[in-house]
Amino acid sequence: MHHFHGGCHCGAIAVEYQTGIAPEETTPRACQCSFCRKHDARALSDPAGRLIITVHDETRLERYRFGLRSADFLLCRKCGVYVSAFLDDGDAAFGNVMVNVLDDRARFPDATPIDRSGEDAAGKTARRRAQWTPATLRILAQIDARPRRNRRVCAGFRTHRYKSRHNPPCRWNRGLSKGGAWSVTIFPG
């Protein structure tokens, strides 16, 4: 299994992508829709893989929808990076990952242009269920019960990713063990 990490530029959204396919053997897709062309997006998925998207700051998560509005295009509101397209499909969820957000992006080939302008919403959903990666979207929220004057935003979430609680506590949230905690919202529910 190959294990890739990445995320948006400012660190608010992190991704973890597991796949049995080596980077050199992948065929990233360059969707030719107007949105993907503006981002020069290279999309990757593996139905036998696993995708975990962790949002450390929900206020920075944009679930952009356009066109047939059949999926969420996850962008960072702070740094503007397009991370993933995500289909919340009830009991399951599927997503793709943008090669450009992976730390190892240089190992992947150039993308092949794909025109999907003829697809309807049902066709898009069927293709995504079949082709995208089983995915989980985790949204971490810091519950801070300390007096407002003592609250600080943690600047260290890059190093604390995938953890529901900072361990060890960073310099911004040492007091949180007394008055705060992390809640985690997970999609699919």
Interface with Zn ion (CB under 5 A): 8, 10, 12, 76, 78-79
Nearer to Zn ion among residue 8 and residue 51 (C-beta): 8
DSSP line for 110-123 = PPEEE--TT--HHH
Q: How far is the CB of 53 from Zn ion (least distance, A)?
A: 12
Distance in angstroms (rounded) separating the CA atoms of residues 95 and 5: 15
Q: How far is the CB of 10 from Zn ion (least distance, A)?
A: 3
Nearer to Zn ion among residue 103 and residue 115 (C-beta): 103
The token pair that represents 126 in the structure block: 């069927």
Q: How far is the CB of 42 from Zn ion (least distance, A)?
A: 18
Q: How far is the CB of 90 from Zn ion (least distance, A)?
A: 28
Nearer to Zn ion among residue 128 and residue 161 (C-beta): 161
User: Could you give phi then psi for residue 48, rounded to 5 degrees?
Assistant: -95, 5
Residue number closest to Zn ion, CB atom: 76
* Contact indicator for 54, 8 with CB cutoff of 8 Å: no
Distance in angstroms (rounded) separating the CA atoms of residues 54 and 12: 8
* Dihedral-angle region of residue 120 (phi above 0 means left; psi in -120 to 50 means alpha; beta otherwise): beta
Nearer to Zn ion among residue 14 and residue 51 (C-beta): 14
